[in-house]
Amino acid sequence: MFALVTEKAYEQHRSHFDALDNEGHGLQWLRLADDGRLQGPFDAHPEVAWLSSDLFFGGILDRFFEIVEGAPDFLWLQSAAAGVDLDPYERLLSRGARLCNAHLTAIPIAEFVLRAVLDVFQDAKRWRTAQADGRWEHRNFREVWRSRWLIIGLGSIGAETAHRARAFEAHVTGVRRHPTGDEPVDAMISPTEIPDALPEADVVVLAAPATPETENLVDDGFLSAMKPGAVLVNIARGKLVDDEALLRALNDDSLAAAILDVFNDEPLDPDHPYWSHPKVVLTPHSSGGGIGRWDRGAELFCDNLRRLLAGDPLVNEVTSMQLPTDLPFVTGKVKQ
């Protein structure tokens, strides 16, 4: 069997691939170099492939899919991403190939959220400025302890964020259309109850998928219902937020801050008011950039490859472009 991986991923995770080779599966590795050249037998076509994290930033993603979609007997693709909204995924599924996604970024995104909220609560930039100026300046700050959090979306990212907020003894309310009963929160509510929960929340975290139901969820009405001095965090999708409404709320001094890692248009226009707004904490869709995701991705790819070869069920298999029904706000066949 021919397996396609990037040269970078192959070298970085060589021990995982050597272990597979030592198990006698008869695998042959096709390696895609940074310049788009394919290393391996000239006329070989991959039957399985790993869409590793480096492909999303290396400029050869189109080349990767060109090879995969051009392979006549392609069987299975393992993606390092959770989203299934790329057109090639649907084309592969339509021709009978199998697809698995991953939830590798939930841990770093949750850590990002806690760090960013702590920065806002403690106004950490003032300490950094005082250090640069050589000023010995004592001051008080807000604590996460006993703060109230509203996390909209209790998938893997929302759940990991809830775990960490509760470790600081925050009270966490989760929002999910179909609760499972084991969510790591203090209280669960349905999406229809969000307006009643907003006035009590010190921190509101958006962790829901972008669907027709969640588009512009954060509008004037949502923002006016939020508690004065609350912090809004968006690590979901930019489409969940009405940008003009958010800017009005920030300018009206009703919110303490907006922590934004995702936007309606990416990259964000250099002239967008978010860049210079004193209450906006802006990062370039990078909250999932924890380096631990690389090893987790390699382990998942190799585990699923073993399962495929053994005829066992695959982890995180995507059987259609329909979102899982246990995610919040999902009412039918909608793309993520």
Which active-site residues does the annotation give? 237, 266, 285
Q: In 3D, which of 167, 109, 107 has the Cα closest to residue 283?
A: 109
Alpha helix locations (H) across the chain? Answer: 7-12, 14-22, 61-69, 87-94, 106-122, 124-133, 156-167, 194-197, 220-225, 243-251, 292-310
In DSSP notation, 157-207 reads HHHHHHHHHHHTT-EEEEE-SS--S--SSSEEE-GGGHHHHGGG-SEEEE-
- 3-class DSSP state for residue 302? helix
**Cis check: omega of the bond before 324, within 30 degrees of 0:** no
CA distance 147 to 169: 8
The interaxial angle of helices 14-22 and 292-310, nearest 10 deg, is 20
